[in-house]
Structure 1
Amino acid sequence: MASKILHRIRRTIVKEGNEEGTQQEKTEEFPEISELVDDMEGLSTHLSGKLSFGSDPLYSNIEEMCPEEEDMVFVEHEDDYDDESLNEPRNEACSFQGGISSCNLLTRQLQESWKKSRIRIVQEKLCFEATQASVVQEGSSRYVLYTVHLIKSGRFDRNPGSITRRYSDFEKLNRLLRKLFKSHMADITFPRKKLHKNFASDTIAGRSRAFEQYLSHLYSVPEIRCSPVFLQFFYLPDLTTGQELLRSGHYKEAMGNWSNAFHLQDKLGGRDLDHQIVTLAALTVCSQELDRLKEAQEYCERALQLLEKHDQHPFLGPLLQSNIRLCWKITKDKRQSEAWLQQLQDNGLEISNLPSLKELLIKEQFV
């Protein structure tokens, strides 16, 4: 028996030696094989089992375990995979002994590691970009109008807000802010006036860049960017122009001003509740007059969401009445607004004497 065992061991050693020699011959004949082995050496130290993508029924649901790449939302970059999730104990690796559960576990680890290494959180930032400057002649006066866009970086901004201001408008804002925030404004520079060459292309281009930096610097100071003076500098002109157009029945033209004011308020963080409500109410009225009932109801509902904790706001009752009528016209559930309006009535609100949204907007004072 011992001789038989010894004979088998010798045959095994000889066989392994022959196989190694054959493998060396293949490697010399095909040098690219050795390069491939070297490239995969680092990965093989982590993956001790096998992943089968054949017709084995045990792995027939591999597509369910690995969702398509297009279903995942991420920002790609070229960093290497994170090896932390691969350095798990061997009993959690994918192997034939472990069955489908252990293979699922390794697949999830690979997916999570891959997502972590490829997903980056992109912070949004408000950018001020002077996109246009034009010389305007009005009678004997001549001035330059600067167009500045407010854009949220970090994503594709479909609705940038824009303002058109002249040098004197920026100068007025600067004077007011220096009175209110002396210490904060001490290090913020403002482009000086020039006695000559105010309409030269170099001067206009330089001022455009200076206004971008000036607004960005103002917005970086929390006390300034939350102040009414700073906020209303952007959207107050659109509110007053939109009100004049609404009063005269030019709803389509008014819609442009109210929409731009809405986008500006959104970019600036929505810190002015009263003007937000007025803007949404005006968009509701203009959309309704233009027979855009679904849009009108959406604007109205958005305004009501802002007023959930403001039962005493003068626009609340008229907004609820408008929302009930709009929901009825577009066959949408209106019971929540009806219950809210009934609650206000129980608390003493005279519903029969409420003005309409249009009446409130015509009488509204913005300054």
Structure 2
Amino acid sequence: MASKLLDRLKRTLFKDGVATAELSGTEDFPESSELDDDTDCISSRLSGTLSFEGEKGLETEDPGEASDLDSDSDFLGESTENGMCSTDASPVGPPVSQSLLTRQLQDSWRSSRCRTVVEKLVFEVTDASVVQEGTSKYVLYTIHVIRSGAFDKTPAIITRRYTDFERLHGRLRRCYADEMEGVSFPRKKLRRNFVAETIAKRSRAFEQYLTHLHSLGELRRARIFLEFFYLGDLRMGQNLLRAGQYQEALGSLLNALRLQEKLSGQQQHHLQQPQRGHWFFTLSALAACFQELDQLEEAQENCERALQDLAPSQDTAHPKQFHPAFIPLLQANVRLSWKISKDKRRWEALLQEMRDSGVDIGNQPSLKEYLVKEVLEDSDGGSRHKAKEELA
């Protein structure tokens, strides 16, 4: 009986061994299809081939983690542990080391992370309404200025009529005749100016017109072009500030700030006068309005933003070179920083340096007094009154 049982056990074990040998080609690497897919993907990106070294690491790897690659960074970590390396695709030359593959993968990952969508300025007419003022009738176009390439949470808005565009075109042609030679402008019509078809076509034409101007480097930086967008809002904000309507002034000033930021592409350091002066005036006016509305943190933030751009260019050895708003801004920032318990030592030290250099710190206007008296000039050197006479 014992010999029969032993003989039966041998036959059973023999059959199992054969079955195991037959299935060994598929059972040793149950995830071979997934590894092949990953290899093809990486090879196409690196223009090379992948080979696997350190088979023990692959055999002991957890299958659940191996099939859950959700980012290049995760893959990099696993490839280092598993001993993955790359060899040159050509038949000539020695194989590339494991460290070289890791470096290639890291460089590829960094380049993909640093790759950004190119931003550009988009001009979009979102509304066109017919306005009747007494005997005068015109179409008012609402234009959104947007930075493409990312979601723009704060588009800037302007409203202009045909005569505004016509005046801009005439001034640019006088000052930049060569650059304006290939720029087309929608012609004025004697009839059917207020029908939907004409308004729609003209809206598209104005979008293309502004886009064309902005695509030309010389015109994009032209004072006439820049002021067409923001100077009206800046003057309106100043008038409301003078009248004590600080909340209303904030709307115009914030829109003027957004327009300047979008048009300059965050390059305020490279602005020329009077655009540089307009930039500091905007930040100063925002600080003054926020202070009057008791929004001290916002006021201090705008003060410091203006000072960070203004202070590095100052030379305490030549007090006359200081921007007229610099000392009022500096004094306002010290007071605001004290009120909100923010470190003010840097600005106090700068104020002391100016006092030691002979600047009469005590005989200076307040920030609000400076803003009320400041005259905002356009590119023709004209003041607000001259601009109103031209529009009349």
The letter for the 2-side match of 1:266 is: E
Residue of structure 1 in register with 2:51 after alignment:
47
Match of 1:191 among 158, 182, 186: 186
1 CA distance for matches of 2:253 and 2:37?
Answer: 61
Which secondary structure state, in structure 1, belongs to the residue aligned with residue 51 of structure 2?
coil
1:159 has 2:154 as partner: yes
Residue of structure 2 in register with 1:362 after alignment:
372
Residue of structure 2 in register with 1:133 after alignment:
128
Match of 1:350 among 325, 345, 360: 360
1 CA distance for matches of 2:187 and 2:346?
Answer: 56
Aligned length: 317
2 CA distance for matches of 1:203 and 1:160?
Answer: 26
1:143 has 2:143 as partner: no
2 CA distance for matches of 1:37 and 1:299?
Answer: 56
Deviations 1:330-357 (A, max 9, x none): 0011111111111222222111110011
The alignment's TM-score, normalised by the length of structure 2, stands at 0.72
Match of 1:216 among 211, 221, 233: 211
Q: How does 1:274-353 map to 2 (within 5 A)?
A: 274-308=277-311, 309-310=313-314, 312-353=322-363
1:124 has 2:119 as partner: yes
2 CA distance for matches of 1:214 and 1:245?
Answer: 32
Which secondary structure state, in structure 2, belongs to the residue aligned with residue 344 of structure 1?
helix
5+ residue gaps, structure 2: 1-17, 44-48, 75-84, 89-93, 315-320, 378-392
Residue of structure 1 in register with 2:6 after alignment:
none
* Alpha carbons of structure 1 residues 138 and 41: separation in structure 2 relative to 1, 3 Å: closer
Which secondary structure state, in structure 2, belongs to the residue aligned with residue 159 of structure 1?
coil
1:22 has 2:4 as partner: no
The letter for the 1-side match of 2:325 is: F
The letter for the 2-side match of 1:198 is: N
Deviations 1:92-127 (A, max 9, x none): 43xxxxxxxx7xx86665454345457633221111
2 CA distance for matches of 1:323 and 1:241?
Answer: 25
1 CA distance for matches of 2:292 and 2:227?
Answer: 27
Q: How does 1:103-118 map to 2 (within 5 A)?
A: 109-116=104-111
The letter for the 1-side match of 2:22 is: T
Question: Where has structure 1 moved over 3 Å in runs of 4 or more?
Answer: 18-21, 23-27, 32-45, 50-56, 66-72, 85-93, 105-119
Aligned residues of 2:300 and 2:336 also touching (Cα < 8 A): yes
Deviations 1:267-290 (A, max 9, x none): 111332100000000000011111
The alignment's TM-score, normalised by the length of structure 1, stands at 0.76
Residue of structure 2 in register with 1:87 after alignment:
87
5+ residue gaps, structure 1: 1-17, 57-61, 73-84, 94-101
Residue of structure 2 in register with 1:5 after alignment:
none
The letter for the 2-side match of 1:47 is: S
2 CA distance for matches of 1:359 and 1:212?
Answer: 40
